[in-house]
Chains A and B, each alone.
Chain A
Amino acid sequence: MSTPLGRSAGESWRVLRTPLLVTGLIVLAAIVVLIATSARTSGPFSPDSTDSDGARALAALLKNHGVDVHSTETLDDAVQPGEGKALIIGPAGSLGRPDLERIAQARWSHLVLIRPGSRALEILAPGVQQTGDVLSSRSREAGCDLPAAVRAGTVTVSGPTYSAPPAAVACYGDGINNTVVRLEVGDRIVDVVGTPTSFTNAQLADDGNAALALDLIGTHQDLTWYLPQFESTGTGTGDSGGAPLIPPDVRYIAWALAFAVLVVAIWRGRRLGPVVAERLPVIVHAAETTEGRARLYRRSRARDRAAAALRESALGQLHKAHGIPRRADPSAVVATVAARTGRDPIMLYELLYGLPPLSDAALMSLSHELDVLTQEVRKP
């Protein structure tokens, strides 16, 4: 009598296992590919990135020259004691003031700041300031007596420029706006470099870029390559450096909440059987053609046709009411109706057999007059 619909659990498993297997394999493959490629694409100026804005070529060049490059993205590696070592800080302005102060306290012998922001300049390279001028890519002579720059010669420069304090050596600029600034802070050498793109994979081979990079950066055997990440700020974004604005527990609550929402969605979302559809009849009103013709009359201002229909209809009623023969003469009709209603025969003739109305107002009045006439006829 009754047949179960749908599939049992066993049937469902047999049907679903192949798609599930395929989906699982695809997800697995995607994860593998993602892991395999993530090392090479960890962002601009990364020593592991082979993209055109990466710096793997520079890192390889440094290794070939005997420099030990440690790539890192965590602050802890950047604040370790650094006597006799060099630290290069990648182009990211997301470090907070306390972080920068910890870096300043670590005793690095050589600091290279790639396109630093004003906060980093204030703490790590006092006296150097951003001039606000931003250069588009061009080649420039050294224009200073920094040995590294003199040896490199012409170099591609672009990006922000910096003003140098009197004690510093400023290169690749016009004296005020400089791209490379070297100054000594205590016993530490600090290089401010405004042109990160010159050292990327794409442009390292141009001009004297590679020579400048090697001479600037490759001064120490032990180089820590620090690329600040947004997560590593850790202590908030403001200068206050106070308590974080979002408590760390919130994320767990959010996940628990998301799960609860999912449960509620499944609870509310499951219907008691599918919606039943059926074929509906076409609804056509019988008077639709008549109403359509009325709109056509109106749009084309067919006053003559409208008036003719109204007159013919009124005449039909008069014929019926007064017992006038169907094929009676207009004058006979007018005479009969005039005699019965006491109207002026000339006006009546004009009303029943006159010319078509020339305006909408005339049509309205004609319709009204005919209406009155037929109602008069109907009354007695």
Chain B
Amino acid sequence: MVLTGRAGVLAAAGVVFVALVMPSWTGVGLVVAVVLVVCGVDMLLAGSPRRLQFSRNGDNAVRLGEQAVVQLLVTNPGRRVRGWLRDAWPPSAGVQDPPHKLDLPSGERRRLVTHLVPTRRGDRHAVRVTVRAFGPMGFAGRQGSHEVPWTVRALPPYKSRKHLPSRLARLRELDGRTALLVRGQGTEFDSLRDYVPGDDVRSIDWRATARRGNVVLRTWRPERDRQVVIVIDSGRLSAGRVGDAPRLDHAMDAALLLAALATRAGDRVSLLACDSAVRADVRRPAPQDVLPSFVNALANVQAELVQTDFRIVVSQVLERLGQRSLVVLLTGLDPAVIEESLLPVIGPLLRRHVVVLASVADPRLTELESARTDLPEVYAAASAARTRLDRDRLTATLTRAGVTVVDENPDHIAPTLADTYLSLKKAGRL
């Protein structure tokens, strides 16, 4: 049962009535009876929210920060329903609309649109649809709820895609689609083509030239069909927030850019998200499926406050790789954790594969280190300097062990990781 402002006005008018006309128990009883009867009759005449039928359609997935549109079809087989409808979602689903006004005559159907702008990654489930139907006089009404299941998956935003065109251009330079005539390590024979003035004479294939009668050039391209495994650490090292998002989200961004680039370069990309257990696992999807399958797999991965077990990471990676491959490990540069749990077990990986460790640096540390106006700030600067020195020392240790370390601010981690990949490819280390 619900009442409206009109019922309140009616009861207030009753007070005036009792005060001026009938100041007695009879008057009070009369007012109570009138209000109860009017509201009761109105409630009985209201359409039944319980008998409404609902169905949904619309978006199933949306990139974080963009708008999803979910439609709700309401069918009314019973009496006319006039009132309000609230399509309830969790707060982080970011419902944009206030409750819908509903006027649904008998036997009709309406389409109501709910706009969602999710504020966090992951699946958002519709909670319930609540309908409040008022009676014809508008004094009282009925309220009922329905479960109308629907899920909108908020995918990683992949903001780093803006860096993709420039990296693809550099890839094409490597790739022989623009003139790459220098034979180097990590390239393979691509094709023979006619000499054009300006080409490097050192690339002329004399044997073919002799056979053909005109000058022929050999072109080279980087090796293709290499394996790339991107490992995202979803443990506590990735839980810390850098800026307004956890390290994990920045790591995903970088992973997606790298995956897109490597796919275009003809490599096969696999994904593993892991802490004390495997959270996401995508093995060598077809090139056109790489991004969709990666964002879907990563959508529900959240940073767990547990210590990542790097033994699982190493065994998982070794299990899926036969040939020499690139292993990109996105984690945090925490000296204690890396030295105690990663370095002892990384040996087998380093022997067979190229390992890149990428970590999101915190610009806050730079801020702390440069602000030195009063005593607490000086101590903070000293502490930040100590943290940075420890990281530098760890980076040096890792580099000596043969790991390529990428330690960049959140804005730069994705393009820098992509550049590292390109330079590794150019150097033929894959």
Contact = CB atoms under 8 A, between A and B. Distances in A.
A15 to B, nearest CB: 16
Contacts of B127: 276
A264 B386 contact: no
Given A3-B147, A276-B88, A310-B381, A260 B242 contact: no
B372 A273 contact: no
Interface in B22-41: 23-25, 27-28, 31-32, 35
A8 B3 contact: no
Contact of B12 (A260, A291, A309): A260
A310 B240 contact: no
A253 B24 CA distance: 9
A4 B11 contact: no
B182 interface: no
A259 B35 contact: yes
A305 B380 CA distance: 12
A376 to B, nearest CB: 15
Interface in A1-53: 1-6, 8
Given A4-B50, A281-B302, A307 B382 contact: yes
A176 interface: no
Contacts of B241: 283-286
A86 to B, nearest CB: 39
Given A260-B11, A272-B84, A371-B372, A2 B2 contact: no
B291 interface: no
B15 A309 contact: no
Contacts of A371: 372
Interface stretch (B275-283, B363-371, B420-428): B363-371
Nearest to A270: B2
A298 B382 CA distance: 10
Interface in A288-330: 288-291, 293-295, 297-298, 305-307, 309-310, 312-313, 316
B384 interface: yes
A6 B145 contact: yes
B14 interface: yes
Contacts of A312: 385, 389
Given A285-B241, A286-B362, A253 B15 contact: yes
Contacts of A167: none
B4 A267 contact: yes
B375 A272 contact: no
B14 A252 contact: no
Interface residues of A, number: 57
A313 B11 contact: no
A282 B24 contact: no
A364 interface: yes
Nearest to A368: B372
A185 interface: no
A60 interface: no
Contacts of B18: 252-253, 255-256
Given A4-B145, A273-B145, A286-B247, A294 B90 contact: no
Contact of B305 (A6, A282, A287, A295): A282
Q: What are the 7 A-B residue pairs with the smallest beta carbon separation, nearest first?
A: A273-B130, A286-B240, A306-B382, A2-B54, A249-B23, A260-B11, A313-B385
Interface residues of B, number: 81
Given A260-B12, A367-B378, A5 B144 contact: yes
B292 interface: no
A276 B91 contact: yes
Given A2-B55, A267-B3, A286-B364, 11 more contacts: A2-B146, A2-B147, A3-B148, A6-B50, A252-B23, A255-B28, A270-B143, A272-B99, A272-B130, A281-B246, A316-B389
A134 interface: no
Contacts of B376: 294, 298
14 contacts: A1-B53, A1-B54, A5-B144, A6-B50, A256-B28, A263-B11, A267-B4, A272-B143, A281-B246, A281-B303, A282-B305, A286-B332, A295-B379, A368-B372
Contacts, number: 200
Interface of chain A, helix or strand or loop or mixed? helix
Nearest to B26: A252
A43 to B, nearest CB: 27
A269 to B, nearest CB: 9
Nearest to A4: B50
Interface in B123-144: 127-130, 132, 143-144
A291 B383 contact: yes
A273 B382 contact: no
Contacts of A5: 128, 144-147
A371 B129 CA distance: 61
Given A266-B3, A267-B4, A270-B143, A309 B27 contact: no
B50 A8 contact: yes
B92 interface: yes
Contacts of B322: none
B56 interface: yes
Contact of B144 (A6, A259, A260, A278): A6
A360 interface: yes
Interface hub of B53, B86, B386 (most chain A Cβ within 10 A): B386
A306 B143 contact: no
Nearest to B10: A263
Contact of A313 (B242, B375, B388): B388
Contact of B86 (A257, A272, A363): A272
Contacts of B92: 278
B244 to A, nearest CB: 10
Contacts of A286: 240-242, 247, 332, 360, 362, 364
B227 to A, nearest CB: 31
Nearest to B303: A281
Given A259-B35, A270-B143, A287 B364 contact: yes
A305 B379 CA distance: 10
B11 A264 contact: yes
Contact of B15 (A260, A283, A307): A260
A273 B28 contact: no
Nearest to B132: A272
Interface in B80-105: 84, 86, 88-92, 99
Interface hub of A263, A282, A291, A310 (most chain B Cβ within 10 A): A263
Interface string B226-267: 000000000000011110001100000000000000000000
A300 to B, nearest CB: 10
Contacts of A3: 146-148
B381 A290 contact: no
B305 A273 contact: no
B146 A276 contact: no
B19 interface: yes
A373 to B, nearest CB: 13
Contacts of B55: 1-2
Interface hub of A278, A293, A309 (most chain B Cβ within 10 A): A309
B91 to A, nearest CB: 6
